[in-house]
Structure 1
Amino acid sequence: MLNYIFKRMLSAIPFMFMVSLTVFILIQLPPGDFVDSYAAAAASSGETISPEKMADLRHQFGLDRHILIQYFYWIGGIVTGNFGYSFEWQSPVKDLVGERIGLTLILSVAAMLFTWALALPIGVYSAVKRYSIGDYFFTFVGFIGLAVPNFLLALVMMFIASKYYNQDVTGLFSPEFQSADWSLARVYDLMHHLWIPMIIMGAASSAGLIRILRANLIDQLYMPYVVTARSKGLSEVKLLIKYPVRIALNPFVSSIGWILPNLVSGAVIISIVLNLPTVGPMLYQSLMSQDIYLSGTILLVVCLLTVVGTLLSDILLVILDPRIRLEQ
């Protein structure tokens, strides 16, 4: 196991290098650069920027250098902990992304735990009691969860919380805790605002996992090993937990590889609607303005989460399912 983990960590280094190069090139493929975007925004407000000023800005930001020189300047800084400078925010990327990454991970893990807590018991019930009224009900609700856009669910929940509970559900903090230092009061305020985005982001994932778990568990319930264990007098609850449910949980564990980066980068619209201080809206804005170092860093972090999540899911799959052997 340790040998496998070490090999995977070593193989991740050239992979991340290739991803960083690909991301950096793709960000700069659209015509123009940040200075052009800045000049267009200024022109829309009635301000004119001279070509000389634009040339000075490009020289100041290093945008007049070759793309490979810009890349190696950026990637060399990352090795030493310098993630570059955000042109739009006029601030180091590390300072901008630091707390947002932490809040995004907290929200992502909370949504993932909510997804598992909701999908696991419902999926098991639907498989064991298939074609029952409860199974049909959860199937119907699951299809609604898959069909309703998350941003629409966010708007509905915002309306309900505001009208019937007199609660402001936008953002992750109250105004007095927006820029405050971390304390127990700020953590409590975060938990008070966390439940609505957690439910919204976990709803669609729960609906999909319920269907997957139900189908996998139905396949396992009639396997010969289950019939043999049942004939030997093993109780139904112990039988379910020890054998078929354990095998059917593989999709839950394997979902770690994609659910973390998906929650980070795939919930941009929800974050904008709910005004969440996560990296999603910042990534969207940095791509629109071609803020290369900021957007490149965020995309690199998303890719790193994919690598880490995939490694964790592979290790947990071995622990969960003894039929899998990583060394082979």
Structure 2
Amino acid sequence: MLVYIIRRLIMLIPILFLVSFIAFFVIELPPGDWMTTYVSQLRASGIELSEQEAQRLSELYGFDQPMYARYLKWVQGIVLRGDFGWSFQWGKPVSEVIAERLPVTLAISLMALIFSWLIAIPIGIYSATHQYSFVDYLATFIGFIGLATPGFLLALILAWAVYEFFGFSALGLHSREYLDAPWSVAKVLDMLKHMILPLVIIGMSSAGSIIRVLRANLLDELKKQYVITARCKGMSEIRLLFKYPVRLALNPVFSTIGWLLPAIFAGEVLISIVLSVPSIGPLLLRSTLAQDTYLTGSIVLILSALTIFGTLLSDIYLAWADPRIRYGGLSR
């Protein structure tokens, strides 16, 4: 197992460099750059900018250099100093811009993940073990609603319902009176109230798919010969259920860590935009529209790294949890 993990970690290095180059190249594909957009905005607002001044700004920000030179400088800063570059849009280092929004994103995403698992896993197990019962039909209905309803639409409906019936605006992270107020217990409680709605919406959108996947896989496992044999030998139902069937049925759930980690980092983009939640997702959208090269490239690079690392974690989990799975000599 250790040799397999080390080998996979070594393979990650060239993959990350390739992903970083592709991300940087794709960001550079649209015509122009942040500097030309900024100069156009200044001139559109009535501020005259001479060609000499525009050229000086272009040289100051490094846009007079070719794409490969700026890419190498960016990668060198990340590898040697942990410097992800400068955000032109925000006028500060990229690491500071990301760090400002990361705690909120992680808090909402992690709580939504735990919330969805706490709801979906027990319901999926009960639904499979009590097939065609009222709870099974109800779980199937909830699963279809969660899968069929877009998250942003659900966010709009629930945000309106909360305001209409409770007189509480769930948009943003703070009520108006706490926007500029210093941190206090009341401000923290107000923030927690605003986090409930995005937590429930994000959690419900993923809980539906988990219920359906877990139910289907557990039904398949319960029909297999080893379960029938264990029942004939007198093994109790609870021990039989959690010994192997549930453990194997959960494989598809935990194998999604590859896309789960970047989702936790970025959050649900559309839901965050609708509810005005200052998370990483809307930041990525804004930086892409503004052609903020280093900020966009850094977020894409981090998302790609989390995807690759999450895939490695899911592979390790599957190799441990399911003895039928073999990865080239891992079990030899």
8 Å CA contact 2:116, 2:204 repeated in 1:
yes
- CA deviation digits over 1:91-148, x for unaligned, max 9? 1111111132233222222222122112111211222222233222221221121111
- The CA deviation at 1:50 is 3.9
Per the alignment, residue 291 of structure 2 pairs with: 290
1:63 is aligned with what amino acid?
A: F
8 Å CA contact 1:201, 1:263 repeated in 2:
no
8 Å CA contact 2:287, 2:296 repeated in 1:
yes
8 Å CA contact 2:105, 2:267 repeated in 1:
no
Supply the distance in 1 between the matched residues of 2:68 and 2:262 (Cα, whole angstroms).
Answer: 27
Are residues 94 and 106 of structure 1, via their aligned partners in 2, closer, same or farther at CA, if it must alter by over 3 Å?
same
Pairing of 1:1-328 with structure 2 (within 5 A):
1-79=1-79, 80-173=81-174, 176=178, 190-265=191-266, 267-326=268-327, 327-328=330-331
Are residues 46 and 130 of structure 1, via their aligned partners in 2, closer, same or farther at CA, if it must alter by over 3 Å?
farther
Supply the distance in 2 between the matched residues of 1:61 and 1:207 (Cα, whole angstroms).
Answer: 47
Supply the distance in 1 between the matched residues of 2:181 and 2:51 (Cα, whole angstroms).
Answer: 39
- The CA deviation at 1:296 is 0.5
Supply the distance in 1 between the matched residues of 2:165 and 2:57 (Cα, whole angstroms).
Answer: 51
- The CA deviation at 1:180 is 5.7
- The CA deviation at 1:186 is 6.8
Are residues 5 and 177 of structure 1, via their aligned partners in 2, closer, same or farther at CA, if it must alter by over 3 Å?
farther
Using the TM superposition, name which of 146-155 and 96-105 deviates more: 96-105
Supply the distance in 1 between the matched residues of 2:133 and 2:154 (Cα, whole angstroms).
Answer: 28
Give the TM-score normalised by structure 2: 0.90
1:64 is aligned with what amino acid?
A: D
8 Å CA contact 1:116, 1:252 repeated in 2:
no
- The CA deviation at 1:271 is 1.0
Supply the distance in 2 between the matched residues of 1:78 and 1:178 (Cα, whole angstroms).
Answer: 34
Supply the distance in 2 between the matched residues of 1:142 and 1:116 (Cα, whole angstroms).
Answer: 13
SS across alignment from 2:65: coil
1:13 is aligned with what amino acid?
A: I
Supply the distance in 1 between the matched residues of 2:71 and 2:307 (Cα, whole angstroms).
Answer: 22
Are residues 12 and 226 of structure 1, via their aligned partners in 2, closer, same or farther at CA, if it must alter by over 3 Å?
same
- The CA deviation at 1:44 is 4.6
Gaps of 5+ in 1: none
8 Å CA contact 1:151, 1:273 repeated in 2:
yes
Are residues 284 and 180 of structure 1, via their aligned partners in 2, closer, same or farther at CA, if it must alter by over 3 Å?
farther
- The CA deviation at 1:184 is 7.6
Supply the distance in 2 between the matched residues of 1:190 and 1:307 (Cα, whole angstroms).
Answer: 33
- CA deviation digits over 1:21-41, x for unaligned, max 9? 110000000111102222343
Aligned residues: 327
Supply the distance in 1 between the matched residues of 2:185 and 2:326 (Cα, whole angstroms).
Answer: 44
Q: Pairwise CA RMSD of aligned residues?
A: 2.3
- The CA deviation at 1:260 is 2.3
8 Å CA contact 2:42, 2:48 repeated in 1:
yes
Using the TM superposition, name which of 233-242 and 218-227 deviates more: 233-242
- The CA deviation at 1:173 is 4.5
Supply the distance in 2 between the matched residues of 1:96 and 1:178 (Cα, whole angstroms).
Answer: 19
Supply the distance in 2 between the matched residues of 1:157 and 1:184 (Cα, whole angstroms).
Answer: 26
Using the TM superposition, name which of 21-30 and 192-201 deviates more: 192-201
Supply the distance in 1 between the matched residues of 2:40 and 2:119 (Cα, whole angstroms).
Answer: 47
